[in-house]
């Protein structure tokens, strides 16, 4: 009787990474979340993956570097476009006599929105201004892109964005909600 040779099993674990899906996720994260944080995350992940991919697939380091470079270009371009759009909005608001805007937002349970935009007139102690629906929507869209990523998830978050049109400056005040649990056990001898 002939002995059968036992097939050798490889102890090497092969990691399979869908590069297209990764690029899509990094791109979405970079576009949909906090621009600076997403940029850092995209760069960090791309660098880490670029370091492990050559072991998995040949010629991958260059592909990953190209993906990381494209993500950086897309994020930088997005930030520049956003800064230009907010600058244009500030100019339009200032020309309409609006000195400041307070944009409030809130969210929880995977749903969030901009709650209100309050426009204050130049030198108008407490006087409210108004703008066209189109300009209001442009402002809401631009501010949304600056809000902290994921503020609408889980217990959620809230805050406001205060815009000074003359200085072309925006300040975001943000708060996060979370559940804190404290447990205590007390034993009495009776």
Which three-class secondary structure state does DSSP give residue 171? Answer: strand
| Sheet with 169-176, edge to edge strand ranges | 128-129, 111-121, 98-108, 157-164, 169-176
Q: Are 163 and 91 in contact (CB under 8 A)?
A: no
Which three-class secondary structure state does DSSP give residue 177? Answer: coil
The percent of residues above 90 in pLDDT, for the chain, comes to 35
Question: DSSP state, 4?
Answer: P
Per-residue pLDDT tens over the stretch 127-142: 788 899 999 999 999 9
In sequence order, which residues have a C-beta less than 8 Å from that of residue 45 and are 6 or more positions away? 22, 26
Identify the band that residue 182 occupies on the pLDDT scale cut at 50, 70 and 90: confident
Q: Which pLDDT belongs to residue 124?
A: 67
Per-residue pLDDT tens over the stretch 31-75: 455 444 555 555 566 566 655 555 555 566 677 777 777 888 877
Q: Which of 136, 148, 134, 137 is nearest to 176 (CA)?
A: 148
175, two tokens: 């708060």
Average pLDDT, the chain: 76
Using CA atoms, how far apart are residues 162 and 170, in angstroms rounded to an integer? 6
In the predicted model, what is the mean pLDDT of residues 77-92?
Answer: 89
Q: Which of 98, 163, 100 is nearest to 130 (CA)?
A: 98
Q: Where are the domains of the chain?
A: 19-84, 96-176
Lowest-confidence segment of 22-36, 79-93, 146-160, 166-180 by average pLDDT:
22-36
Lowest-confidence segment of 38-42, 90-94, 120-124, 146-150 by average pLDDT:
38-42
**DSSP E strand stretches across 15-155:** 98-108, 111-121, 128-129
């Amino acid at each position: 009787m002939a002995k059968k040779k036992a097939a050798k099993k490889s102890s090497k674990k092969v990691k399979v990474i869908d590069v297209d899906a990764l690029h899509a996720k990094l791109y979405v994260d970079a576009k949909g979340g906090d621009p600076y944080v997403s940029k850092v995350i995209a760069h960090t992940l791309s660098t880490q993956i670029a370091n492990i991919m050559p072991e998995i697939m040949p010629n991958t380091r260059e592909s990953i570097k190209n993906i990381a470079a494209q993500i950086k270009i897309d994020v930088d371009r997005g930030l520049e476009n956003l800064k230009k759009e907010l600058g244009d909005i500030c100019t339009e608001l200032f020309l309409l006599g609006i000195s400041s805007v307070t944009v409030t937002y809130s969210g929880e349970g995977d749903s969030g929105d901009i709650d209100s935009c309050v426009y204050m007139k130049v030198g108008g102690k407490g006087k409210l201004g108004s703008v066209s629906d189109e300009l209001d929507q442009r402002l809401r869209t631009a501010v949304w892109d600056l809000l902290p990523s994921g503020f609408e998830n889980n217990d959620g978050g809230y805050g406001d964005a205060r815009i000074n049109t003359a200085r072309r400056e925006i300040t975001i005040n943000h708060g996060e909600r979370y559940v804190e649990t404290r447990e205590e056990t007390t034993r009495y001898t009776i």
